[in-house]
Chains A and B, each alone.
Chain A
Amino acid sequence: MISFKIDGQLVEGKEDGNVLEVALDAGIEIPHLCYNESVKPYGACRLCLVEVTRHGRTRMTTSCTYPVLEGIEVNTRAEKVLRARRMVIELILAMCPGDPLIQELAKEMGVQEVRFKKGDKDCILCGLCARVCDEVVGANAIQFAARGDRREMIPPFTAEAQDCIACGACVVVCPVNVIGMEEKGDERTIVRWKRTLKMKKCKVCGNHFAPWFQLEKFKEKAKLPKDFFDTCTTCRS
């Protein structure tokens, strides 16, 4: 374990860990949107800014991408940091003024009004959906399109995401809950990716519980027995 200080408090982290996870584990609040412990740190939202002092040099950086290093001193409440975070959340709010979570976060951080023209987006471009789909699920069904201010998270060619297995992992990790999943009869739809797949019926209770594609993929990935998904989770336990 490697020890260092956050806001004067001595903390310990794993060798390949990052400052944000150590802070959160120690109960030190740092706002963040694009970080999720199940995927690699990405550094997109820029909300988890902190000041890090190493070898006498202090710089502002995102805590999710900063590696755990012996003897560093992290300041999560420096005036400069709070000022930059306020502007970052204001920029996100201006982009997605309708997201309740962003509105709330902005309010907590002391941003009352947006000084920029209000956009009409709902996605905050954190990329968590695509990263989970790639790094955890292995389906790699979606990715960002275009660059600069035209960047957006869309299904390939804005058509149905054909590699999507409708597992719903993206729906779960989306911090602003804008992907959408609907189940009707034996079908599940991931709304944002325009993907609808048939679900399998549980041999015991008869409920349609998960898409065929998803179950096949998971079985293959986790090397599960052939009949593992014949019954739903509820009936299996």
Chain B
Amino acid sequence: MRIQTKADLERIREEGLKALYPPGIKVSVGMATCGISTGAGKVYEAIQREVEKGKLPIRVDQTGCIGFCQREPVVDILEPGKPRVFYQEVTPDRAVELVQQWTANKVIPDWLLCRMDTEEWVSEAKRRDYSILRIPEGMNGTHHYHEIPFYSKQVKIALRNCGFINPDRIQDYIARGGYFSLYKALFEMKPEEIIAEIKRSGLRGRGGAGFVTGQKWEACRKAKGDVKYVLCNADEGDPGAYMDRSVLEGDPHSVIEGMIIGAYAIGAHEGFIYVRDEYPLAIRKLHIAIQQAEEQGLLGENILGSGFSLKVHLFRGGGAFVCGESTALMASIEGNVGEPRAKHIHTTESGLFDRPSNLNNVETWNNVPVIVARGANWFSQIGTERSKGTKVFSIVGKVKNTGLIEVPMGITLREIVYDIGGGIPEGKRFKAVQTGGPSGGCIPESLIDLPVDFDRLTEAGSMMGSGGMIVMDESTCMVDVARYFMDFLKDESCGKCTSCREGTKRMHEILTDITEGRGKAGDLEILEELGWVTAEASLCQLGATAPNPVLSTIRYFRDEYEEHILNKRCPAKVCRKLLHYRVISNLCKRCGACVKVCPSEAISGTKKTKKTEGVPFKIDHGKCIQCGACFEACKFGAIEVE
């Protein structure tokens, strides 16, 4: 059936509400990539088997990621009149047990992540109260969702539906207010009004550069030409970043709805979603979503009977990091090699197939329906002066709670790392946080109170980027970090322009020398000069931002570099070639364990036996390959490393 009127939309919403909040028990398993990789598939099957076996009146469903990736698989149970509960780190065995217990009106407190008594519907500024009548046994001490540090400081706009709907059902999305913004845009707003609203909201591109979205739309609308395109950048290539993936896997319709609204505002009738092929699940979810939206008349010809049409194509990228750059992405869709070109003529005037094209990132598109629904005034209250709304980050690395978080702009890095992230594990000390992916910079402890804001991060030598956030502790060597990112970038530069290709290659070469004890005076100056040229002279933003990891670490950790270069020491004890292993003779029990594991026969000495005292063990530095095997093998702490 094709939806033609608001009444049709309301009818689908009713269907969706029944699926979201069935009369009986509903058990949902988080089945985004993070869940599946920790075994959510088996958990899902186990629950299903249990339900079938016992012919239990339970509906088993799946959903996306609720953000706390570290605690996956997450299973939530919803039953009318009871609080919703979220279980963490569920195994198939545990799943069976917690379902059995629930049917007996009990919970297993130790496995619980949290309870939820009301649910927020962001698009419509409503709350759905679960009208609690009974509390299952064993739940008295369970924290509420909003009391857990991981969630308490989060504000979910982009992730509004992730973990709450089944992404394969368009009805679920509509039930929580989805596609009502599209209706409003098509029937109650003129294209210019939509653009004005988006401009007024202060929304800036979430893909990294932070360009004002409304301005981009306006430029594309005003550009000459009958054929225009809307594009969605889902080529998330930063190592450790998976914001877009989670949105696409958990709430694909939000992106499609945003694109339709944008296309209507701009005057485009064809759209492309460029998604990397390394995201098979996201691709599958998008396929289903596009098909369902078309079947329902929300996409394709004559959308909602408005006369406006939009065809959206899914384009799978081959996984080149550079294809996240707008012109390279467009070249790739055109069937050419994914190489950037000079952008003196904006892509809003001449982009894909030389037509006016508007490219936004997944998260930007996803924000659009909410802004249309709730208005620019509401949106612009969140965030800072020049960075409005929220930002999704994937927080990974040396932090207790890893996962996907959404925070209001302006929150400090300290709040993210210590409150949401729970601080550094194993009692270690925080050292730096890298924001903005491989071409972002490392922000040191002295700047940890920096508010997260497009401009403030750039001032600090880093950038907002798409939202990867890697936390590092004292056991991280900053020179090695810079070398690692340069290794990535020299591989992922398209290689077209000299300054980026050779600049990243030479920076990597010098950094490798420094980490292997071949650093020399003057290296830092050459690195700075190379970094400057790579940033200033390169063709695209990949080159322009590539030196950030090097320049920011030199800026904030210069002494660590100098220690490597001048004293051939790695203070964090990471750079293997700079480590010296030594036997502390008075602690050595002459057991010989180290000799057994040494692969390079670098340890001499003889074992102590009943008959002989043995000869003290010694490490020959000429032969030692700094593998650390002896250090690991010694039970007496008799091997030291410096």
B342 and A92 within 8 A (CB) = no
B506 closest partner in A (C-beta): A116
Residues of chain B within 8 A (CB-CB) of A87 are 499, 529-530, 533, 537
Residues of chain A within 8 A (CB-CB) of B345 are 67
Residues of chain A within 8 A (CB-CB) of B490 are 148-149
Is B434's beta carbon under 8 Å from chain A? no
Residues of chain B within 8 A (CB-CB) of A94 are 502, 506
**Bound Cα distance from A206 to B345, whole angstroms:** 53
Is B314's beta carbon under 8 Å from chain A? no
**Bound Cα distance from A182 to B505, whole angstroms:** 35
Contact with B along A14-51 (1 / 0, CB 8 A): 00000000000000000000000000011111110100
Q: Distance in Å from the Cβ of B111 to the closest Cβ of chain A? A: 46
A89 closest partner in B (C-beta): B498
Contact pick for B505, options A43, A88, A127, A149, CB 8 Å: A149
**Bound Cα distance from A47 to B502, whole angstroms:** 13
A65 and B344 within 8 A (CB) = yes
Contact pick for B537, options A84, A116, A147, A148, CB 8 Å: A84
Residues of chain A within 8 A (CB-CB) of B344 are 61, 65-67
Contact pick for B497, options A43, A66, A149, CB 8 Å: A43
Contact with A along B485-511 (1 / 0, CB 8 A): 000001111111111011111100100
Is B424's beta carbon under 8 Å from chain A? no
Contact pick for A148, options B491, B506, B509, CB 8 Å: B491
Q: Distance in Å from the Cβ of B224 to the closest Cβ of chain A? A: 15
Is A91's beta carbon under 8 Å from chain B? yes
B493 and A149 within 8 A (CB) = yes
Is A144's beta carbon under 8 Å from chain B? yes
B526 and A46 within 8 A (CB) = no
Assess A91 versus B502: contact at CB under 8 Å? Given A43-B539, A49-B537: yes
Is B266's beta carbon under 8 Å from chain A? no
**Bound Cα distance from A87 to B495, whole angstroms:** 17
A84 and B496 within 8 A (CB) = no
Contact with A along B386-407 (1 / 0, CB 8 A): 0000000000000000000000
Residues of chain B within 8 A (CB-CB) of A150 are 491, 495
Residues of chain A within 8 A (CB-CB) of B533 are 84, 87-88
Is B341's beta carbon under 8 Å from chain A? yes
**Bound Cα distance from A144 to B491, whole angstroms:** 15
Contact pick for B494, options A49, A60, A91, A148, CB 8 Å: A148
**Bound Cα distance from A227 to B329, whole angstroms:** 46
Is A143's beta carbon under 8 Å from chain B? yes
B509 and A116 within 8 A (CB) = yes
What is the total number of residues of chain B having a CB less than 8 Å from a CB of chain A?
Answer: 33
Assess A95 versus B491: contact at CB under 8 Å? Given A65-B344, A87-B530, A115-B526: no
Is A55's beta carbon under 8 Å from chain B? no
Assess A43 versus B341: contact at CB under 8 Å? Given A49-B537, A147-B493: yes
Residues of chain B within 8 A (CB-CB) of A223 are none
Assess A60 versus B495: contact at CB under 8 Å? Given A95-B502, A143-B337: no
A147 and B322 within 8 A (CB) = yes
Residues of chain A within 8 A (CB-CB) of B492 are 147-148
Residues of chain B within 8 A (CB-CB) of A139 are none
B536 and A84 within 8 A (CB) = yes
Q: Distance in Å from the Cβ of B336 to the closest Cβ of chain A? A: 10
**Bound Cα distance from A92 to B497, whole angstroms:** 11
Is A159's beta carbon under 8 Å from chain B? no
B332-349, CB < 8 A from A:
337, 341-342, 344-345
**Bound Cα distance from A225 to B92, whole angstroms:** 78
**Bound Cα distance from A22 to B43, whole angstroms:** 68
Q: Distance in Å from the Cβ of A14 to the closest Cβ of chain B? A: 16
A151 and B499 within 8 A (CB) = no
Is A146's beta carbon under 8 Å from chain B? yes
B8-64, CB < 8 A from A:
none
A144 and B337 within 8 A (CB) = yes
Is B538's beta carbon under 8 Å from chain A? yes
Q: Distance in Å from the Cβ of A171 to the closest Cβ of chain B? A: 22
Q: Distance in Å from the Cβ of B337 to the closest Cβ of chain A? A: 7
Residues of chain A within 8 A (CB-CB) of B342 are 41, 43, 61-62, 65-66
Assess A45 versus B498: contact at CB under 8 Å? Given A65-B342, A148-B490, A148-B493: yes
Contact pick for B506, options A45, A47, A91, CB 8 Å: A91
Contact pick for B499, options A42, A91, A125, CB 8 Å: A91
Contact with A along B100-136 (1 / 0, CB 8 A): 0000000000000000000000000000000000000
Residues of chain A within 8 A (CB-CB) of B532 are 84
**Bound Cα distance from A160 to B360, whole angstroms:** 42
Is B470's beta carbon under 8 Å from chain A? no
Is B570's beta carbon under 8 Å from chain A? no
B491 closest partner in A (C-beta): A148
Is B320's beta carbon under 8 Å from chain A? yes
Is A57's beta carbon under 8 Å from chain B? no
**Bound Cα distance from A25 to B154, whole angstroms:** 60
Is A221's beta carbon under 8 Å from chain B? no
**Bound Cα distance from A150 to B490, whole angstroms:** 9
B307-360, CB < 8 A from A:
320, 322, 337, 341-342, 344-345
Contact with A along B535-564 (1 / 0, CB 8 A): 011110000000000000000000000000
Is A117's beta carbon under 8 Å from chain B? yes
**Bound Cα distance from A60 to B344, whole angstroms:** 12
B499 and A88 within 8 A (CB) = yes
Residues of chain A within 8 A (CB-CB) of B497 are 43-46
Given contact pairs A117-B509, A151-B501, enumerate 12 new A-B contacts (beta carbons under 8 Å). A42-B496, A44-B497, A44-B498, A46-B538, A60-B537, A62-B342, A84-B537, A116-B506, A144-B337, A147-B320, A148-B492, A151-B496
- Which 7 residue pairs are nearest across A and B when measured between Cβ atoms? A151-B495, A65-B342, A91-B502, A149-B505, A87-B533, A148-B491, A148-B493
The 5 listed contacts between A and B (C-beta, < 8 Å) are A46-B537, A92-B502, A148-B505, A149-B493, A151-B494
